[in-house]
Each structure stands twice: as structure tokens, then as C-alpha cells.
Amino acid sequence: MATPREIRWGILATGAISITFTKDLLVDPNTRGVSNIKHTVVAAASSTSAARAQSFLQDVKAPSTAKAYGSYEELVRDPDVEIIYVATPHSHHYQNVMLCLEAGKHVLCEKAFTVNAQQARILAEKAKEKGVFLAEAFWTRYFDLTNYVRDVVHSGRLGTVYRVFSDASARLSPEANFGDSKHRLVNPNLAGGALLDLGVYSLTWPFLVFWKPDSQPEVVSSITKYEQTSVDESTTMLLTFPRPASSGGNAHAVATTSIRIGNVSGAANPVPCVRIQGELGELQLFSLAQCPDTTKLIFKDGTVEDKTWPKPGPGKGSGWYNGYLNHMGPEGEGAGMFWEADDAAFAIIEGRTEGKHMSMGETLAVMEVMDKVRQQGGVRYPDSLESVEYPLSL
């Protein structure tokens, strides 16, 4: 058997999402049926200090040889690093990703990809100029569950699909939870608000079903602002995806996102976060739009197909857990972020420069929709965050 190709990662930023990603990254790929690649972490950087980066490496049980840096500049100069996972707040993505690309590194960048479409477009052009991989780290697009959704939609089991409802919301009181207004969800200096943080997830399902590279949806939206900081607290979007009459005519989607409200759903009263409706039935997803774990396929004749989608990992009895902040998954199950990392690895091996299930074209299209929504609702961030000037200290 051939030796697996080792992919050498650098981790830029050491917050909660980096911990989740890196713990998943270091799970043996054989646990998910992947035998020809292996991930390793060779370095991590914190903008706070090298000591913070070292603590992060110990927390995620990175190899003892992994280097800890106290600046992002040191990380991108490390010749052992071939791909960098960027997990700073999205307010800083443009500056951080450009730093990596200028150094000739492959990049997997968290969502929202940037603050606006212009920034995303310039980064895509820079990646093309450098001949490196660049993708939005849209973990949801790489789940086994999502592959099932694609198959149901494109195989015609629902007939022609006409409409998608999708909600990604936090259901948190911003006053009670973020009273000082410094949290990224409500802080305009971190490009806060529901839309860029959560709305990308409500948009991803209509885009997965309807979006084509040669067409852009129209959007009409309504925003309620959070009074204390003027970021969007709740946003509702009505999208129209152009489609010829021969394919059923224009398709519609309603995508919603909110900090304050959301589905009240649980085992006793499951409420779908996504509904994909076709002429022969509908596909419902539960429980959260960013990481659904259950599907219900309902046909017009009353037939129902229920499925649950546990994630692979070291398995029960391993004593290993992963999750986000204090929300841990079942023992031995990964969070599901390793699949996007696997795709980046295969892209490097194949010479592919974009994500298999989230191209830069689609990332740009989503950013353009969110630009329009912010414009319609009068939401603008500080000029430094909207700027395409580089380098720029934020």
C-alpha cells in the first residue's frame, strides 16, 4: 500500500473554531474511509503571543514538533507550511488571506469569506495569479448528509424543485448575552450581525439547490437592526433564481436569519431548519442549518424516508470528544470539519485550485447577494473593514 500523502497545515488564529477544526483535522482519516492522505499541523499562530499558540497546540494534541508563533507574518514565512486555515473574525479575512496568498500558501478560509464581494473577488484573482488553492471553509457542503441532499435533488426524486425555505438563527437575547456589545455577533468593528455570521448558512441551501454559474439570483430583503450597535439583528431574504420555462420557470427561496429569534425545536417537537419542496414531495432537514443531522423525505403518496447522519471519528470507548465551545458531540464522533480539509488536501494533490463543493464563483455569488441585502437594509461597516487596501492595520 502506498504511503499516504502528508498535508502540512498551519493554523492562523487560535480561537474556539480553530480548536474544533484542528481536533477534527488530526483524526485518523481511515476512520472515515480515507487512506491516501494524512493531515498534520506543523505550526500555529496567535496574534496575542507565541505562548497562546503553544497552549493551543497542546490543547489540540498537535505533534510536539509543531511550532508556535506570536505573529501571522512568522507563520506565512514558515517553509514547512503548505496550506493555512484562516479562522480570524471575518472582518479580518481579507487582510489575513492576502498575507497568506502573497506568501504563496494554499488557503482554506472560514466563512463568511470576506466582508464584501469586492474583497472576495480580489482574493480570488490573487490566488489565480499565484496558482494556489483558495476556498471558503464551508464545512456544511461536505457532509455525507449534504451529498444525500444533492442526490435527492438531482436524481429527480422530488421532481422539479420549486422552492426552498431555510433558517439559521441563534435564538439569543443580545442584551443578556452580549451586553457590552464587544462580541463578534453584535460588534460592527468585527463586521457583526446575523447576516454574515449566520445568514451564510441560510443562503447555502437555496444556492446548493438552484444556483448555476451563469446566473445570479435577485433578492428582496428586510432587516431589523440591533438598536445598540446598528448591525442586523434579524434579516429575511426572498430570492428569485432565474430558470427557463422548460426547467420549471423561476425558482424561489426564503432565507431567514436572526440573533434574537429562531426555531424552537427539540426531540419532542422537531421543526425543520430547511425545507426543499418539489412537485413530488419535500425534503426536510433538522436540527441546525449549519450542521443538520437528520433528514425526512416526504412524498405526495405519504411515503416517508427518515435518516440520521452520525459523523465518523475515533468511535465509542475512545474517550475523545469534539464540538464547539461547551457543546460537545457524542463520544468518538467528529464535528464534521475533516471533510472540508480532505477536499483541500485532494485539491493540492490534483492541482485543483477551488473547492469541489464550494467554488470561488459560488462564494462570490453569495457575497454579492449579501452586499445587496446590506445595501437594502442600510447596514455598512467601518470603512477600514470594507476597504480593499492592503496591507491595512485593523
The span from the CA of 257 to the CA of 260, in Å, is: 9
The span from the CA of 112 to the CA of 159, in Å, is: 32
The span from the CA of 154 to the CA of 112, in Å, is: 27
Whether 216 contacts 275, CB under 8 Å: no
Terminal alpha carbon distance of the chain = 49
Binned at pLDDT 50, 70 and 90, residue 265 comes out as: confident
- The enclosing H or E element of 24 equals helix 16-25
Q: Give the pLDDT confidence of 211-233 residue by residue, as tens digits.
A: 999 989 999 999 999 999 999 99
Residue 2 has pLDDT above 90, yes or no: no
- The enclosing H or E element of 109 equals strand 106-109
- The enclosing H or E element of 121 equals helix 117-130
At 15, which amino acid appears?
Answer: G
The span from the CA of 45 to the CA of 106, in Å, is: 16
pLDDT at position 267 is 80
pLDDT at position 160 is 98
Return the SS3 of 172: coil
- Taking residues 334-352, what's their average pLDDT? 98
* Mean pLDDT value across the chain: 97
pTM, to two decimals: 0.97
Phi-psi region of 338 (alpha: psi -120 to 50; beta: other; left: phi over 0): alpha
The span from the CA of 78 to the CA of 299, in Å, is: 54
- Taking residues 68-74, what's their average pLDDT? 98
Whether 47 contacts 12, CB under 8 Å: no
- Taking residues 187-200, what's their average pLDDT? 98
Residue 323 has pLDDT above 90, yes or no: yes
- Taking residues 75-99, what's their average pLDDT? 98
Residue 391 has pLDDT above 80, yes or no: yes
- Taking residues 53-69, what's their average pLDDT? 98
Q: Percentage of residues in the chain with pLDDT exceeding 70?
A: 100
Q: Give the pLDDT confidence of 28-42 residue by residue, as tens digits.
A: 999 999 999 999 999
For 195, which DSSP code?
A: I
pLDDT at position 74 is 98
User: Where does residue 52 rank: exposed (0-12), middle (13-18), buried (19+ CB within 10 A)?
Assistant: middle
pLDDT at position 1 is 64
Closest CA to 154 of 112, 95, 208: 208
Whether 230 contacts 379, CB under 8 Å: yes
What strand order describes the sheet that includes 281-286? 218-225, 232-241, 251-258, 161-169, 274-278, 281-286, 294-299, 304-308
- Taking residues 281-286, what's their average pLDDT? 98
For 196, which DSSP code?
A: I
Q: Percentage of residues in the chain with pLDDT exceeding 90?
A: 96
